Amino acid sequence: MQYINRLSDYEGRKEAAVTFGKFDGLHTGHQKLVEQVQKLGKEKGLASIVCAFDMKPLWERIGKKPRILMSGKERQRQLTGKADVLVECPFTLAFSQIHAEEFIRDIVCRRFHARYVVVGTDFQFGYEKRGDIHMLRQFEEAYGYRLIVIEKERYEDRVISSTYIKELLSGGELALANRLLGYPYGITGQVEHGKKLGRTLGFPTLNVAWQEDKLVPPRGVYLSNIQVDGKWFHGISNVGVKPTVSKEERVLIESFLFGYEGDAYGKEVAIDLLAFRRPERVFGSVAELKACIDRDIEYGKHFFANVE
C-alpha cells in the first residue's frame, strides 16, 4: 500500500473508488467503508483510496488537545492489504476554507479521479461543513461519479464511533473497545533505553514512550502481544509511570516478552493490549514489586496457555 502524508503529493491518474473521513481508530464502522472501496477497486479495476483527514492543524489553531486512538503510522499498519493508497490530508486553514463544490470538483474528481465515492451517512465537507451526502448526490451526474452511502454500524443502541470507543477505553472496558475496533487497542513505537531495573530483577523489559496525543487506557498491567522484527510474542505490559521506582510523570508502556531473548533497543515494535490484569500501584519495596510481577508473569503464561 502506498502511504502519502499530504493531499498535494497524490498524483495518481487511475480512476478510483475513494472514501473520506477522519478514520480515528479505523473501527468496525470505518472498516465497512474501506471494505466497500476495496471491493469496488477489485471488481472495477480501480485504485482503492482512503483519504483520512488529519485534524491536528485545526486543533493547534484553536488550542484544543483531544486524545486520538491511532497515529498515521498505526492507521497505515491497519490498512495494509486493504487499500491501494492511504492519503493523510492535514486539515489546514487553507483546506478548511475550500467550498463544498470546489471540494467535489478539485479533490474528488480532479485529484482522485473518483468513479465511486463511498461515505457514511453523516459525512460533511467544505467550508462551514456546507457539503453533505445530499450535495454529493446532487452533483453525481455533473461530475461523473457514483455515490455509495454506508449506514452506521451499531452496538446495541449506540452508533459505533471513535468517541464511544474512547469512552470505553477510558472506563476500562477494553474487551468491548477491542470488539468494536475489530482489533486490539495498542501502540507502535521505538524501544528506548530504560533504567534496566527489570533486567536486574530477572525479567528484562522493552520500554516504549506512550504518544503524548494518544488516549492512555487505565494505568496498570495488561496481557499483551508484542511484535518485534515481524514476529509476535505473548507477554505482559505495564502502562504507567512505575511509581515504585520512578518520580517521572511520562507515561511508558513496559513489556516483558515470553520467550524473547534478542536486543530490541532502537527498534520499532507494536504492542497490542488484550486484557486488563491489575491497576498500577505503589509497592512498599522493590522486593514486593518483584513478587507481584512474578505473579503477573505466571498469570500471563496461564492466560495464553488457555487461549491457544
Q: The pTM is what?
A: 0.92
CATH fold match for the domains 2-159 and 186-307: no
CB 150 within 8 A of CB 34: no
Domain map of the chain by residue range?
Answer: 2-159, 186-307
Residue in 221, 229, 224 with CA at minimum distance from that of residue 292: 221
CB 20 within 8 A of CB 114: no
CA 272-242-190 angle, 5° bins: 45
Instruction: Mark 64-76 as b/e (b = at least 16 C-beta within 10 Å).
Output: eeeebbbbbebbb
Percentages helix, strand, coil for the chain, rounded to the nearest 5? 35, 30, 35
Looking at residue 299, its pLDDT comes to 96
- Domain 186-307: give its CATH code: 2.40.30.30
Of the CATH numbers 1.20.1260.10, 2.40.160.10, 3.40.50.620, 3.40.50.300, which one belongs to the domain with range 2-159? 3.40.50.620
Looking at residue 306, its pLDDT comes to 85
Grid look-up 518485534 returns: 228
Which residues of the chain carry a pLDDT beneath 50? none
Within 8 A by CB and 6+ apart from 298, the residues are none
The string of pLDDT tens digits covering residues 227-240 is 999 999 999 999 99
Looking at residue 204, its pLDDT comes to 84
Looking at residue 118, its pLDDT comes to 98
The string of pLDDT tens digits covering residues 168-182 is 999 999 999 999 999
Burial group, residue 90, by CB count within 10 angstroms (0-12, 13-18, 19+): middle
| φ/ψ (deg, to 5) at 137 | -65, -40
CA 274 from centroid of its chain's CA atoms: 15
